[in-house]
Amino acid sequence: VEEASEEMRAALQRFADGDRVGAYPVIEGLKRAQMAAREKAAEQRLRLARAGDVRQLATLALAMKDRGEKTSAEVMALWEEAQALDPGYHWGWVEMREVAMECGKLERARVAAEKALGTARGGREELVALSGLGDVLVAQGDLAGALEHFEASLEIAQKLAREGATNKVALDDWGVSLEKVGSVLVARGNLGRALGQFEASLRIRKILSRIDPANGHASRNLFVAFLKIGDVLAEQGDLPRALEN
């Protein structure tokens, strides 16, 4: 049962004291405002419930897409529907940005990436949003903008990894962030600085392989880290060291 507001209690007391004509319009106005607020809250709960249902469908459709049973466009349509119902859901924008890029819809991807950044609550959410926006900017040819976002993402990744040095997700994020910065630096011709980023990423990949030697993902990332270093060394003309990697 809702507790009557001070204004409502005063109006009811006026009514009880005999000023019914004066009190009734106040009571009616307050009651109708309460009814409207309840209806609005109920509509919002329904929208959020529907959004959750559509997100479940989008997740299932994503699994089907990975097996060739749904298209990226079908998955994107579901995420668009879900985010229209619940635009405050951060990870929905992340998913939508990824699938929009798969569809080649870079402007939609950029909007989704910016929404993801706007709904991020710091920490890993902000890291992923910055990195995702950087990916879109690379695809759009804005390497300077991409580098700025990747470096901001890297700063957060370093902080989170140092706070939880044995956290595999945090370490992996750190490695990915270093590689993204390095790749943009290569594209901009800054091979020396890029090599430093890739070597730092390699150190992290080695740690992850030691933590979980049976993890195929970690082994593959270690292999890729060696390749990236080798490519930069070859481009610098250091073929002996490139062959070592």
**What is the rounded CA–CA span in Å between residue 234 and residue 6?**
77
Consecutive H or E run containing 184? helix 168-187
Q: What is the DSSP letter of 69?
A: S
Q: Could you give phi then psi for residue 184, rounded to 5 degrees? A: -70, -40
Q: Could you give phi then psi for residue 17, rounded to 5 degrees? A: -80, 0
Of 163 and 15, which is predicted with more confidence?
15
For 229, residues 6+ apart whose C-beta sits below 8 A from its C-beta are 195, 198, 199, 202, 245
109-123, 138-152, 163-177: the lowest-pLDDT one: 163-177
CA dihedral angle for residue 114, residue 116, residue 117, residue 121, rounded to 10 degrees? 160
Q: What is the pLDDT of residue 62?
A: 94
Is the pLDDT at 1 greater than 60, yes or no? no
Q: Give me the DSSP letters along 101-150.
A: HHTT-HHHHHHHHHHHHHH--SHHHHHHHHHHHHHHHHHTT-HHHHHHHH
Q: What is the DSSP letter of 4?
A: P
Average pLDDT, integer, range 44-70: 96
Of 117 and 238, which is predicted with more confidence?
117
pTM, to two decimals: 0.82
Q: What is the pLDDT of residue 39?
A: 95
**What is the rounded CA–CA span in Å between residue 63 and residue 70?**
8
For 183, residues 6+ apart whose C-beta sits below 8 A from its C-beta are 194, 228
Q: What is the DSSP letter of 64?
A: H
Q: What is the pLDDT of residue 242?
A: 60
What are the pLDDT digits (tens) for 4-32? 799 999 999 999 999 999 999 999 999 99
Lookup result for tokens 């299932």: 60
Three-state DSSP class for residue 215:
coil
Average pLDDT, integer, range 36-47: 95
What are the pLDDT digits (tens) for 169-190? 999 999 999 999 999 999 999 9
Q: What is the DSSP letter of 3?
A: P
Q: What is the pLDDT of residue 123?
A: 93
Provide the b/e sequence for 181-196 (b: ≥16 CB within 10 Å).
bbbbbbeeeebeebbb
The answer to whether 197 and 158 are in contact (CB under 8 A) is no
CA dihedral angle for residue 41, residue 46, residue 52, residue 56, rounded to 10 degrees? 180
Average pLDDT, integer, range 184-213: 93
